[in-house]
Amino acid sequence: MKKKSLSGYPGLDNPQSKDATFLEKHPIIPSTNIYTTLKLLSRKYLDKTAVDCLCLRASYKQLLDYAVTVSLALKELGIKKKDIVVACMPNFYQALVVFLACNRIGAITTFLDSSSSLEEISYYLNEFSAPIFINYNKNDEENQKIKNMTTVKHIITLRKENIHNLNINYDYLVTSNDNKIDFNSLGDIAKYQKSKKEMPHLGNEDALILFTSGSTGKPKSVVLTNKNILAAEIYAKNTSHTANITGPKTLTCVPFSYPYGLVTSALTTLLWGKVAILAPDISKGTINYYYKKQPNIIFGSPALLDLTINNVADNLDLSCVTHFISGGDFLTPTHYQRGMDFFAKHGANVELGNGFGNAETVSIASTPVGVPLKKKTAGKLLVGTKALIVDPDTLEMKKYNEEGLLLISGKNVFKGYYQQEELTKSVKIKINGQEYYNTGTLGFIDEDGYFTPTGRKSRFYINSSLNKVYCDYVQNVIASFDCVKDCAVVPMPDEDELYVNKAYIVLKEEYHHQPDIIDYLKELLNQPTKVFDDRMTILKDYEKPKYIEFVTELPRISGSDKIDYSYLENSNKFILERARHGRI
């Protein structure tokens, strides 16, 4: 058969799919929910380990049974189809169960950062009219404050002493305000639920709310259906040919509050039939512990690679590691080489690659797994999707290797932003009758369907706890303080945390000579601040600047009013010792 010649335009050729089978190019996406899909896929290996979290291990059968019990308890507490359940927990086994339990009964789940302030938690509980809030280890006083600030009906708390415990049949003690429900008593509550009938929900029904990166501090709420999630997983599986990927264990350490955490890392692992090693407390002190669990595939980032290189014991055998996937940020050529040298030194023949995705594409738009690696790319765009590179202004289609704006079409593209119809319309573009999502990312596609990003709008870094810190957001908060005339926030290297914030501050004249100005700034950094019209915001501990330097003015790019951030960042590389004296 004569091979079809390329037209010169990736949008016409779909080069990522050129060697794929018909069913890979046109996969059937089942119209069911995630829980039911996992139940069907795992029938042949129910006794196999599904989750390894700290000292707790659970088989696929235990995971599914646990989810059924929690779903019955939630029903007994009044949760119905389409209700939104808000969870604020690290990557514990119980957090994974919460999603599957809600999914089984048609409820929607959203995860907040486990270090979120009470103000932020209350904002989202009210935003989503959430009837239930599930959290980790909050005390009675904190739970009562949340109850007072919201219309939430029940607050369920997973206690620290129970994170290793699979028993959830503790006696349920009814209290006057129901803000003291112990997570481990949900089994007892479930016994009161008379209807145990399972009604599989349809693929087009809402399943999950993820959040965009939130470079300004106000993330957009992205609504995903069951079909969106399953499509992303099937596209990725067909692209990666996962049947050929050896190694049964993955390391999931990115927080579930990020798209790369729950969906790309945890759900992908389970739907692949592998073991999810959950790391709720990845850090300099625990990194060796998690590598001793012998993961094969690591869902990581440049920050995790740095954490690994800097802290893993010299004598630790890492021959188990076959893949290190960087998501959330890009491995530079220097990073790549350092990683390859490190893993080789520890006995691993590893593939290091970059992935790419947005919350709006279920965090998966390309994959470096199971395809020939190209170091400087973000991997191969997913087979089954369509992609265009267009001029950002005219939407004129670009050719291979020409830079432009990336648009993606597929069943993995999100349903919409929560209650923001106009905003949803603004990022969905119709070209030649096909609807595409505007990723907002500049880059180019080559003849093999690999995507290389070349530009991004936000300034961020990932710290040692694998949380993203957006410098512009922190800068906007500090700039709102009454004593601040001007401000610039940039990342700087740190021996313990990889990177931390440094704030360059121009004080208003009346504050120049105040001896207690540092203490005053510390006080302001711990208080809620109104940066947005509709809510108060407060910086998380990892977002607060660790260094402050007072300056008379900020450097500007020649011929403009824009702050020269590159100058400040480069300066930081040489003043770590001096700046340490200014740490707050």
Written as six digits, the tokens of 101 are 């339990």
Residue 538's CB is within 10 A of a number of other CB atoms, namely 18
pLDDT band, residue 393 (cuts 50/70/90): confident
Residue 77's CB is within 10 A of a number of other CB atoms, namely 19
Q: How many secondary structure helices (H) and strands (E) does the chain include?
A: 19, 27
Nearest-angstrom CA–CA distance, 119 and 202 = 35
- pLDDT tens, residue by residue, 476-525: 889 889 999 999 999 888 877 788 889 999 999 898 888 889 889 989 98
pLDDT band, residue 178 (cuts 50/70/90): low
Average pLDDT score over residue span 80-89:
96
Q: Given this model, what pLDDT does residue 164 score?
A: 95
Cα→Cα distances 41→61, 237, 268, 563, Å: 12, 14, 12, 53
Nearest-angstrom CA–CA distance, 244 and 260 = 23
pTM of the model: 0.86
Nearest-angstrom CA–CA distance, 283 and 293 = 15
- pLDDT tens, residue by residue, 6-31: 788 999 999 999 889 999 999 999 99
- Range name among 176-190, 287-301, 402-416 with the lowest pLDDT average: 176-190
Question: Which residue pairs, CB below 8 angstroms and at least 24 apart, start in 265-272?
Answer: 265/299, 266/91, 266/96, 267/34, 267/229, 267/233, 268/233, 268/236, 268/364, 270/38, 270/42, 270/50, 270/60, 270/63, 271/37, 271/38, 271/41, 271/233, 271/237, 272/237, 272/242, 272/245
Instruction: Output the CA angle 107-254-138, nearest 5 degrees.
Output: 60
Average pLDDT score over residue span 94-112:
97
Phi, psi of 57 (to 5 degrees): -125, 135
Q: Given this model, what pLDDT does residue 578 score?
A: 44
Q: Given this model, what pLDDT does residue 582 score?
A: 46
Q: Given this model, what pLDDT does residue 177 score?
A: 57
- Range name among 57-71, 130-144, 237-251 with the lowest pLDDT average: 237-251
pLDDT band, residue 533 (cuts 50/70/90): low
pLDDT band, residue 408 (cuts 50/70/90): very high
pLDDT surpasses 90 at 249: yes
- pLDDT tens, residue by residue, 104-115: 999 999 999 998
pLDDT surpasses 70 at 72: yes
Of all residues in the chain, the percent with pLDDT exceeding 90 is 63
- What domains can be seen in the chain, in order of their start residue? 10-30+211-455 (3.40.50.12780), 58-201 (3.40.50.980), 460-580 (3.30.300.30)
Residue with tokens 């991004």: 456
**Mean model confidence pLDDT for the chain:** 89
- pLDDT tens, residue by residue, 37-69: 999 999 999 999 999 999 999 999 999 999 999
Q: Which residues contact 536 (CB under 8 A, 6 or more apart)?
A: 119, 123, 528, 529, 530
462-501 CB burial, b ≥16 within 10 A, e <16: bbbbbbbbbbbbbbbbbbebebbebbbbbbbebeebbbbb
pLDDT surpasses 50 at 581: no
Average pLDDT score over residue span 200-204:
82
- pLDDT tens, residue by residue, 289-325: 999 999 999 999 888 999 999 999 999 999 999 999 9
- pLDDT tens, residue by residue, 371-392: 998 888 999 999 999 999 999 8
Nearest-angstrom CA–CA distance, 251 and 254 = 9
Phi, psi of 271 (to 5 degrees): -70, -20
